[in-house]
Structure 1
Amino acid sequence: LDHCRDILTTLVGTARDLSSDNSLSVPAPEYLAKLQERWQVLRPDCNIHSKISPTLADTILTLDGTVSQAVLNLLSNGADASNKDLCLEIFTEGQYLIFAISDRGPGLSSEQAAMMCKAFVSSKGKGRGLGLFLSNATANRYGGELRWRQRDGGGSRVELCLPTTKVIA
């Protein structure tokens, strides 16, 4: 229990450091390029197919570091499920800016999907169950949400949805 408390204290401290008035304003295409570069450093063996909506070409995003970490967590989960056909899309839909991560893994059962944002719940044998929990916490802090659904043709699609009013300058 002490070890778990120490881990959570460190994670909360890191999230606080990343989010405390430490927002970055950057053009959306540049943000995606930096995110991909960071991903390749973390997982050089796993490429992602990425695309950004043309409507975001001249858009300035204002995001703190927790958003990048949330997207990287979701990419890691997808890569752990299957590093084939891993995709990252950034687009707007209605009032949301959406980071959609798609993989070709086995997907989730309805029971797993219902539990996906709870701490210490993992469908991976080696997982600690914190990546989705922390990504969900980031979405909630922005007033957004984390969505999951089965991907056409197999796999999962997880969407980090953030209100455009909070992230687009």
Structure 2
Amino acid sequence: REQALHDEQLVALGTLATGAAHELGTPLSTMAVVTRELERSEVPEEMKRKLKILRNQVDRCKQALSVISASAGELRAESGGLIPVQTWLERVVESWKAQRPGAKLSIKLPSQPTEAAIIDEQTLQQSLINLLNNAADASEEALEIDARWNTQQLIIDILDRGPGLHPNVAATLGEYQISNKEHGMGLGLFLTHATLQRLGGDIALFDRRDGGTCTRIQLLLTQMDSSQ
């Protein structure tokens, strides 16, 4: 019964996401066209600079909608191939830094990493970005990523120095109802948990001894062929 309710929630969220993507896609495309036209016109340089910022923000919104559409199953198949784990991690971190240029992050990788591959899927990338956003929202101090892997499994620890776990979060992880910040994080964690489970992975949250939270992701990997 719980699994059926969980599936119903995912279907409802997918339907909502699909509708939102369609409704927002057209006005965002219009804004992108208008800002490009204005950039080409004879306007002061300061105005062109501001228009470029606006266009970049519109493009970010359109990219976010593409991820939503992918989660709802509407995006054409542009992902799903296998890439080296370290390449995937660096790509996701670079994408997150572009979204939050003011955030500080250090990443710890194995000195002699095992050659293993991970599925290059948009919803998985977005799941890690969601967790990094949650950690950055909770902590003003620099975040840390501690990643290690072998040929079978990848473990990623996202470490922050925020206030620690809300009492209900760890116990109800994966349920849409949980939220302990102003704008809510229940939806992001719910979808992240669902994505990881769908790919044979898992997520756990722990309080750190000296304050803050450790968010641990575990994912199954594929050993790379020597020819790759």
| TM score, norm. by length of structure 1 | 0.81
Change (3 A) 1:19 1:55: farther
After superposition, give the CA deviation of every residue in 1:74-119 in whole Å (9 maximum; x if it has no partner): 0000000003131122212795311221111111133222123211
Q: State the shift of 1:122 in Å.
A: 1.1
- Structure 1 residues 82-121: aligned runs within 5 Å: 82-92=139-149, 95-121=152-178
More strand by share: 1
Q: What does residue 195 of structure 2 align with? A: 138
Structure-2 separation of matches of 1:90 and 1:157:
12
Which 4+ runs in 1 deviate beyond 3 A? 7-13, 17-21, 57-60
1:65 aligns with 2:75: no
Does the CA contact (< 8 Å) of 1:144 and 1:163 recur in 2?
yes
Q: Which aligned pairs between 1:43-54 and structure 2 lie closer than 5 A? A: 43-54=100-111
Cα RMSD after superposing both structures: 2.8
Which one has a larger percent helix, Structure 1 or Structure 2? 2
The count of corresponding residues between Structure 1 and Structure 2 is: 165
Structure 2 gaps of 5+ residues are 1-12, 22-66
Q: CA deviation at 1:73?
A: 0.3
* Secondary structure of 2:88 counterpart: helix
**Aligned equivalents of 1:39 and 1:69: distance in 2?**
9
Tell me the CA shift for residue 55 of structure 1.
4.4
Is the CA contact 2:151–2:223 (under 8 Å) kept in the aligned structure 1?
Answer: no
**Range with bigger deviation, 18-27 or 44-53:** 18-27
User: Tell me, what secondary structure is at the counterpart of 2:171?
Assistant: helix
Distance 2:170 2:157 in 1: 16
**Given the alignment, which residue of 145, 148, 151 partners 2:208?**
151
Deviates further, 104-113 or 140-149: 104-113
| Structure 1 gap ranges (5+) | none
Larger-gyration structure (1/2): 2
Structure 1: how far apart are the matches of 2:159 and 2:18? 28
How far is the alpha carbon of 1:24 from its aligned partner?
3.4
Residues 61-81 of structure 1: per-residue CA shift (max 9 Å, x gap): 333111111100000000000
Deviations 1:111-163 (CA, angstroms, capped at 9, x unpaired): 22212321142111112521111111111001221111112311111111112
1:6: which partner in 2? 16
| Larger RCO, structures 1/2 (Cα 8 Å, 6+ apart) | 1
Q: Secondary structure at the match of 2:186?
A: coil
Distance 1:56 1:86, change over 3 A: same
Inter-CA distance 35–56: structure 2 relative to 1 (3 Å threshold) = same
Query: Quick check: 103-112 or 7-16, which moved more?
Result: 7-16
